[in-house]
Amino acid sequence: QKEVEQNSGPLSVPEGAIASLNCTYSDRGSQSFFWYRQYSGKSPELIMFIYSNGDKEDGRFTAQLNKASQYVSLLIRDSQPSDSATYLCAVNEGNQFYFGTGTSLTVIP
Amino acid sequence: DTGVSQDPRHKITKRGQNVTFRCDPISEHNRLYWYRQTLGQGPEFLTYFQNEAQLEKSRLLSDRFSAERPKGSFSTLEIQRTEQGDSAMYLCASSLGRRGGNQPQHFGDGTRLSIL
């Protein structure tokens, strides 16, 4: 059973702070890693993807991958109220994508 | 690029009825996935197509569920004899698969199914 685990939250941060979201996965064969943002009642929207160990930055978002620890994280700098959503971690192995249950983030103005 | 399109957005039906959903992927994407999502959960894999071939199907998927992707373009997901437990958001995603790995998936807006 392939597992992707995330803290469900809720995680609350003040506006302007850094939000840190974490994800662990069970299968060492996992190849690619994705973060999606999902607003209530909407479909997941791709935020970041990362394939190699280390950090990948895109604007206010940084994805971090550590394959040895089977750990992937998402940092959101200068958090905005519009970042309030559920963040889904997804792990790809072969032809399938496995999703965590998501972390609910609230950015307090 | 018009994105992934799903139809209908909402479907309300009585238990025991059949329903069919449609997904139009991003035009150049050869891979198409169907997921089911319930409140508080992440998307759950249902089935996957590469072009017109259905290559994988979840072992959890009842035989009441069937999916097709004729000609490798749009796809349909049919649920026969619907049950209360089928109430969920049904999501379609597409991606461009290349040798050596998957490009990110892009999701449609989903079809919300409610069984009365």
Nearest alpha carbon to residue A25 among A57, A65, A56: A65
The pLDDT score that the predictor gives to residue B61 is: 81
Indicate yes or no: CB of A95 within 8 angstroms of CB of B102: yes
Tell the residue number behind the tokens 């409140």, with chain if given. Answer: B39
CB atoms within 10 A of CB B49: 23
| B99: pLDDT strictly greater than 80 | no
The span from the CA of A40 to the CA of A102, in Å, is: 12
Average pLDDT taken over every residue of chain B: 92
For residue B45, the chain A residues in CB contact (below 8 A) are 96-98
Lowest-confidence region among B56-65, B71-80, B81-90: B56-65
In Å, how far is A96's CA from the nearest CA of chain B?
Answer: 8
State residue A7 phi and psi, 5-degree precision.
-70, 130
DSSP label of A77: S
Quickly state the pLDDT bin for A1 (edges 50, 70, 90).
Answer: low
CB pairs under 8 A between A and B: 54
The span from the CA of A77 to the CA of A71, in Å, is: 20
Prior bond of B8 cis (ω within 30°): yes
> Which of A25, A38, A43, A72 is the best residue to mutate to test the B interface, defined by the most B CB atoms within 10 Å of its own CB?
A43
In Å, how far is B15's CA from the nearest CA of chain A?
Answer: 23
Task: Write the CB contacts of B54 (distance below 8 Å, at least 6 apart in sequence).
Answer: B47, B48, B67, B68, B69
C-beta of residue B70 within 8 angstroms of C-beta of residue B54: no
A93 DSSP β-pair partners: A96
Closest Cβ–Cβ partner in B44, B101, B108 for A31? B101
C-beta of residue A19 within 8 angstroms of C-beta of residue A13: yes
Indicate yes or no: CB of B41 within 8 angstroms of CB of A97: no
C-beta of residue B91 within 8 angstroms of C-beta of residue B38: no
For residue B109, the chain A residues in CB contact (below 8 A) are 42-43
Nearest alpha carbon to residue A35 among A73, A78, A83, A81: A73
- Chain A residue with CA closest to B111: the answer is A43
pLDDT single digits (tens) A35-86: 999 999 899 999 999 999 999 999 999 999 999 999 999 999 999 999 999 9
Quickly state the pLDDT bin for B8 (edges 50, 70, 90).
Answer: very high
C-beta of residue B22 within 8 angstroms of C-beta of residue B43: no
The pLDDT score that the predictor gives to residue A21 is: 97
The pLDDT score that the predictor gives to residue B101 is: 60
